[in-house]
Amino acid sequence: MNQLLVALDVDTRERALELADQLRGVAGGFKIGSRLFTSEGPSLVTALAARGDRVFLDLKFHDIPTVVGDAVRAASRLGAWMVTVHGAGGRAMLEAAAEAAQQSERPPLVVAVTVLTSFDAAELARIGVSRGLPEQVEALAELATTSGLDGVVASPREVARLRARLGADPTIVTPGIRGEPGGGTTSGDDQVRTLSAAEALAAGSSYLVVGRPIIASPDPLEAARALERQIGETAAHP
Report pLDDT digits (tens) over 98-114: 999 999 999 999 999 99
Residue numbers annotated as active site: 60
Task: Give the largest CA-CA distance in the chain.
Answer: 46
Domain 4-236 listed as CATH 3.30.70.20: no
pTM (2 d.p.): 0.91
DSSP string, the chain: ---EEEE---S-HHHHHHHHHHHBTTBSEEEEEHHHHHHH-HHHHHHHHHTT--EEEEEEE-S-HHHHHHHHHHHHHHT-SEEEEEGGG-HHHHHHHHHHHHHSSSPPEEEEE-S-TT--HHHHHHTT--S-HHHHHHHHHHHHHHTT-SEEE--GGGHHHHHHHH-SSSEEEE--B-SSTT----TT----S-B-HHHHHHHT-SEEEE-HHHHTSSSHHHHHHHHHHHHHHHHH--
Report pLDDT digits (tens) over 202-232: 999 999 999 999 999 999 999 999 888 877 7
33: left (phi over 0), alpha (psi -120 to 50) or beta: beta
At residue 227, the pLDDT reads: 87
Report pLDDT digits (tens) over 60-69: 999 999 999 9
At residue 238, the pLDDT reads: 57
Rounded to whole angstroms, how far apart are CA atoms 174 and 196? Answer: 11
Q: Is 166 within 8 Å of 144 (Cβ atoms)?
A: no
Average pLDDT of adjacent 10-residue blocks, the chain of 238 residues: 90 98 96 98 98 98 98 98 98 98 97 94 94 96 98 95 96 83 44 78 94 94 89 65
Residue whose C-alpha is closest to residue 170's, from 145, 190, 134: 145
At residue 234, the pLDDT reads: 64
How much of the chain exceeds pLDDT 70, in percent?
A: 91
At residue 148, the pLDDT reads: 98
